[in-house]
Structure 1
């Protein structure tokens, strides 16, 4: 069991560019405290936390986490040619759908928020990265999102190619309540 948990911890840390030795490992679940010291030792983690009632974390999270729903609309346009009005229309449609869903779930308007993102990639690439975009969509906000894409691409993959054309693949909205 420890070897599988250790492998998973490596996937979510080392393989994503994080050094597990600079983090604190938190034990949760009914058996988490039985494994935490061995896992910390294997990964070189110097500190562990065993909270009171670690077996209750999942239930507590379920009770206290915000509800959210993700919406996505395909775009597939060169970022330079993307129509801000079309993107804004897509976001407004998703916001109406999301607000209706939260209303059905009994979430009052004052407890709702909307997070807009764009999936962007270099033209011809088979994968994209999500970056925040602001409201309303304008040429300027699209340009800011493309700049954020270049920064994120450099952080994730170690390079960016700002001279390469970019494509907007999806407009996405997370509705939170």
Structure 2
């Protein structure tokens, strides 16, 4: 059997974002897989532009990655008590593509943030955003990485045994769903 395809999505565009690091750590702990990183640097959703020009190529590429993936990891920052605008924009754009690439897709959500709650509010809101897509969003264990800039070493590896164990548990559950026959 071929390795499963795992799509990781960071809700931050920053190259060294802690959410990008967390998503990559999730991929490492997921185990053998073909890992794809989704790109959220998309134009702002505009219904008039969609009507005039159709779905942008980058949006269709993301929708195709979601459809192809056996499982998806989404790691969101918390900006002003909610998920990032780029993540919401990407979800809105993908909802405009043909079909529903999210339907029944195993999805693990997590968050990394500077604050003490580790993005808990953003993650809760993201879970609500996923409801209309009918994705199979895992209920937990929840990963809320607090004080995230201090939780990775120079190689991007989590330094906390507690966070690593919780993330590994979540990835074990995601892998089981992704590889079921």
TM-score for both structures, normalised by structure 2? 0.24
Larger % of helix: which?
1
**Which TM-score applies when normalising by structure 1?**
0.25
